[in-house]
Structure 1
Amino acid sequence: MSRRFALVLVVIGLLAGAITAPMLLDRARETPATSEAANARPAMWPHPKPTPTPTPSPGAPKNGEAWGWTQLTPRGTVIRWATTELPAGVCPTVNYTYQGMRTGHQMVFVSGPFGTQFPTTVCRLPVPDGATNAVVQSTTTNARIINPANLQLPLARWQAAGRPRPNSIVAIGDAGCEVRFTNPALDQNCSHDWPFQPLSINAAALSRPELVIEAGDYVYREQPQAANDATPGCDMQGQAADWDCLVKDFFRPAAALLGQAPFIFARGNHEVCTPGIGRGAEWFRYLHTVLFSNNQCFTYPDTPTQPVQINAGTLHFVLMDTSSATPGNDFVLDPQEVPLWRRAFDQVNALAANNPTQDYFLISHKPLWMVQAASSTTVTWTNPTLEKSISQTALTALAPNIRLVISGHEHLYQLLGFNSSRPPQLTVGSSGSELNTAPDDSKVLGKVVDNQPVRKSISQDVHGYLLLRDQGQWHLTFHDTSGSKLGPECTLSNGATKRLTCV
């Protein structure tokens, strides 16, 4: 090989590298980074590529309604947009400030209308850490009504303040108005006895969270036509899984919180794929960490339902899809399901090993340890199948840096603490739906679940939300729908022993 020819090859190689590097960087941005858990968790699916979308015609009449909100996802902060405006396919521009520069960014088209069930254009926009002041450009949308009305979309305030993690988190769950297929005598009066909207307003104004966790189960209108606040689009049998019912049961009453802070959304058992009763396709179109279209729906262990890690600075969340766990009976051990969920908890622990010195919260719609009822001699626990699955993992427990478990599903508030390496279980299924009767806490203390006695039990059958505050240690309080603190304030100790002190 001549020296001149070798030099040519070197130049060609350098040019190829210059071209390939950006391509690889773009690909890395579109595909989630693999973690140390890669051997336990299948690689995630590719992200949709950005595609240009049309802009509104000047002078076009305003029509339809748009909803914008912010989510934390495994890929970081993402602004979401769903609009019924016509013409369909238009994605607006969002202005935000980043590294001292204020620029506009057109959102990326994800999906268009799907019949009458989903009459929406859905768009997304990833936002870099440290960005501030995200505002929708009103001239880039035809929507007549825009939510939030001030066009401002909340971003991560802790990053702008130079703090390592959020210092205030609100957790809610099971918030919709309950209108049942069976026992209509137990239906809620959605016009007068459904407290989710005032809860949202007061939690946003008084607790001012920097992050909101929604523990799942969004729409409870199994018979929309039977609700006493039925409106067109959510007033006929068969519309329970339609966009209008999601707006009515979640987006509209949650508007104050959606305008206050980014959300993390868990999937509940009302969002399963079962035809006729599940809203799984709706979940994957609007609320999942990565959005799908064409009525796609997945069930664990399908790849899109694997546990994922979501970061809020140095605070990390593992989002675990337990929507399909123990569909027959939450209170009976199902040995056939144990290997499936053991694998899921091994994945959870592998994710927590990514940052072993930092705090993780596990979010699972179905509680891992929870008391439905208690007497002097016996306790009714939920969920023994998930509990057994944890005990059969490689660690025989949850990873030591998982500090809390946050769940919903059971319609009450309950805190269970073990004063051991096991994390406290917080159940927050109390934000709107018909409530269950809380157990007698005095009869729960000392009862043993999976070889550990309960040392703290605080239960409330009152509508409300959980507030977590970071003051060097995590402080936990339950608040009713007016925003008033109800019951003691508990402090979670740092260190290997997760001790709760409540006053």
Structure 2
Amino acid sequence: MLESAISSTIAMAISTFPILLFLSACSTVSLTKSTNAAQVQADAAQIQAAWVVIGEQGQAVARVITRAAVCPVMQQDDTELPMQVRAASGTVAQRTTLSSTADSKPSEFPVLTCEAQLKSGVISASVAGKPLPVPKPVPLKILVVGDSGCRMKLADNAFQSCNDVDKWAFSTVAKTAAGFAPDLVIHVGDYQYRENPCPAGNATCAGSPWGFGWDTWQADFFTPAAPLLAAAPWVMARGNHESCARAGQGWWRFMDPRALQQGRDCNVENDDMQGDYSAPYAVPLGAGAQLIVFDSSKTSAKPLAKTDSAYSIYSAQFKAVDHLAEQAEFSIFLEHHPILGFAPEKKNTSGVEVKPGNLALQSVLQDQHPQRLFAPNVQLLLAGHVHLFEAITFDTDHPMQLVSGNGGSSPDVDLPAKLSPQATPFVNAKVAHFNSTSQSGFMTMERASVTATDWVVKAWDKNGVLMTTCSVSKLKKECS
């Protein structure tokens, strides 16, 4: 009987073993899902910003800024892959800036910058449960904004009302612009303006961070831009406020689509010749159109001598632009300083002097293309720097110039409603149409069809009220 009882017990154990294994497996799966969900939630809580930037030949790169010690996992369609560290957290020693030593400080970055390339044709992407916008092969609606930060600059005694959304309008601009559901966002440069501390007793900017560390980048750009960063991938041009002697460290950590390299990170002044210049690249827009992105952050306002090192650098880069322009029948040249635009300068007595386009870049370009400045396939110029919207067409064979520098930073004084007949941004250019406003806002470029290089360009104020409409094609450019 004992043998029979033992045999019966063994048989029962064997018969129930698969059930126990199944229950154990279910318990493990449930625990894993619970653990993963908890980890995703924890990762999400640490993420400060997440967006997609488009780089050379349209390569999309997902970026995340997090307070976590490690990078999160990114989901691309049905595939998970860990993001890689682009820049570790830490404090960069104080370096020479455009401000005095007493009005400068080390740049603190208590955040991790992570990145991962998006595969071609990706349908969906997310990080820690946060959806990321994915690129479209042919973006039909492009949104353009620029010069968006809140100015705090001791040298000019210029302290914008950063705490007042009516006087620093970028958060309103970004929210309104996101509602337009763009396929692509272009920023023409100058993201970060808070160089010096708000003076004691100034309530309009009291409590604002300053300098070039993460807290200032967060306040000046990433927090107000959040709705627009979530709306579409971005192409980011570099402005003079992102030069090495200003916010260049953050530019290389966060914004530039290329790999971060030691010596090109603006951390050490002796390396600034690497950090202040970077090669142009093309971003295909499909249907025969492309962007050519150019780094003009270090250009000056005066013509360059041929013996100047900047002349040699820009000369080689503009030859590269010519080569890139051969890739598409309609090229849009994107950089920060208007080459064929105007700049107002208020006189001490009265009136406004109208200044021409950037003389340094013109001095290089006219040695390669004396009349037109650009190769024939370059049909449209996008810029900022001047804190206005401008649309300028020409009776002469010159590319149309659009300026979208009214994203929220302190507006420049208005240009005259009607220019003098002699006014020209370049000696050989004859203006056909000119339109400008200092009202804060943004610009859209919509394709006439999915297969066309014809565009309808519209300027909008910060609340989405239409201000200007232009029709742009290779053969004709006109504005109302």
TM norm structure 1: 0.74
- Tell me, yes or no, if structure 1 residue 120 matches structure 2 residue 111: yes
- Tell me, yes or no, if structure 1 residue 400 matches structure 2 residue 376: yes
SS in 2 for 1:437: coil
**1:426 maps to which of 402, 426, 432:** 402
- Checking the alignment, whether the CA contact within 8 Å between 1:176 and 1:196 is kept in structure 2 is yes
- Checking the alignment, whether the CA contact within 8 Å between 2:238 and 2:336 is kept in structure 1 is yes
The residue number in structure 1 matching 2:128 is 137
Give CA-to-partner distance per residue, 1:81-112, whole Å, 9 cap, x none: 11112xx1x22222232xxxx22222122222
- Aligned Cα root-mean-square deviation (Å): 2.9
The residue number in structure 1 matching 2:461 is 480
**2:221 maps to which of 240, 250, 256:** 250
1:248: Cα distance to partner? 0.5
Over the matched positions of the two proteins, sequence identity in percent amounts to 25
CA distance in 1, matches of 2:275, 2:152: 31
CA distance in 2, matches of 1:293, 1:334: 28
1:212: Cα distance to partner? 0.7
Distance change (3 Å), C-alpha of 1:460 and 1:105: same
1:445: Cα distance to partner? 5.3
**Alignment coverage as a number of residue pairs:** 406
1:441: Cα distance to partner? 4.0
The residue number in structure 2 matching 1:284 is 252
CA distance in 2, matches of 1:78, 1:381: 37
CA distance in 2, matches of 1:263, 1:223: 28
The residue number in structure 1 matching 2:134 is 155
The residue number in structure 1 matching 2:230 is 259
**1:200 maps to which of 138, 162, 174:** 174
The residue number in structure 2 matching 1:415 is 391
CA distance in 2, matches of 1:240, 1:185: 15
The residue number in structure 1 matching 2:64 is 81
- State the one-letter code of the partner of 1:215: V
The residue number in structure 2 matching 1:462 is 439
The residue number in structure 1 matching 2:243 is 272
Distance change (3 Å), C-alpha of 1:103 and 1:418: same
Give CA-to-partner distance per residue, 1:345-393, whole Å, 9 cap, x none: 222111112x14x321111111112212499998421312212211111
SS in 1 for 2:177: helix
1:292: Cα distance to partner? 2.1
SS in 2 for 1:283: helix
- State the one-letter code of the partner of 1:137: A
- Tell me, yes or no, if structure 1 residue 212 matches structure 2 residue 205: no
Distance change (3 Å), C-alpha of 1:300 and 1:484: farther
- Tell me, yes or no, if structure 1 residue 436 matches structure 2 residue 397: no
- Tell me, yes or no, if structure 1 residue 351 matches structure 2 residue 324: yes
- Checking the alignment, whether the CA contact within 8 Å between 1:419 and 1:500 is kept in structure 2 is no
SS in 2 for 1:406: strand
SS in 1 for 2:80: strand
CA distance in 2, matches of 1:363, 1:300: 22
CA distance in 2, matches of 1:103, 1:59: 15
- Checking the alignment, whether the CA contact within 8 Å between 1:467 and 1:478 is kept in structure 2 is yes
CA distance in 1, matches of 2:458, 2:42: 48
The residue number in structure 2 matching 1:323 is 297
The residue number in structure 1 matching 2:96 is none
- State the one-letter code of the partner of 1:153: L
- Tell me, yes or no, if structure 1 residue 341 matches structure 2 residue 314: yes
Distance change (3 Å), C-alpha of 1:124 and 1:444: farther
- Tell me, yes or no, if structure 1 residue 71 matches structure 2 residue 25: no
Give CA-to-partner distance per residue, 1:250-290, whole Å, 9 cap, x none: 0110111100000111111111112xxx1111111111122
CA distance in 2, matches of 1:59, 1:182: 46
- Checking the alignment, whether the CA contact within 8 Å between 2:61 and 2:257 is kept in structure 1 is no
CA distance in 1, matches of 2:190, 2:40: 40
Distance change (3 Å), C-alpha of 1:84 and 1:289: same
CA distance in 2, matches of 1:377, 1:246: 33
- State the one-letter code of the partner of 1:477: K
CA distance in 1, matches of 2:242, 2:440: 22
SS in 2 for 1:80: strand
CA distance in 1, matches of 2:61, 2:339: 29
- Tell me, yes or no, if structure 1 residue 494 matches structure 2 residue 474: yes
TM norm structure 2: 0.77
CA distance in 1, matches of 2:353, 2:387: 21
- Tell me, yes or no, if structure 1 residue 450 matches structure 2 residue 427: yes
CA distance in 2, matches of 1:452, 1:286: 38
1:224: Cα distance to partner? 3.9
- Checking the alignment, whether the CA contact within 8 Å between 2:51 and 2:62 is kept in structure 1 is yes
Task: Give the helix-richer structure, 1 or 2.
Answer: 2
Ranges in structure 1 where 5+ consecutive residues have no aligned partner: 1-54, 139-150, 160-164
Give CA-to-partner distance per residue, 1:279-330, whole Å, 9 cap, x none: 111111111122426682265677960112222334321111111101xxx2
The residue number in structure 2 matching 1:380 is 355
Distance change (3 Å), C-alpha of 1:268 and 1:60: closer
- State the one-letter code of the partner of 1:79: A
1:126: Cα distance to partner? 0.9
Give CA-to-partner distance per residue, 1:167-224, whole Å, 9 cap, x none: 111111110111121343653343341110011011111x221111111111111224
CA distance in 2, matches of 1:258, 1:365: 20
**Structure with bigger gyration radius:** 2
1:395: Cα distance to partner? 7.4
- Checking the alignment, whether the CA contact within 8 Å between 2:160 and 2:168 is kept in structure 1 is no
Instruction: Give 1:22-33 correspondences, 5 Å limit.
Output: none
- Checking the alignment, whether the CA contact within 8 Å between 2:147 and 2:189 is kept in structure 1 is yes
CA distance in 1, matches of 2:395, 2:61: 37
The residue number in structure 2 matching 1:109 is 85
CA distance in 2, matches of 1:453, 1:58: 61
SS in 2 for 1:223: coil
- Checking the alignment, whether the CA contact within 8 Å between 1:114 and 1:294 is kept in structure 2 is no
Distance change (3 Å), C-alpha of 1:183 and 1:311: same
The residue number in structure 2 matching 1:4 is none
Ranges in structure 2 where 5+ consecutive residues have no aligned partner: 1-35, 92-106
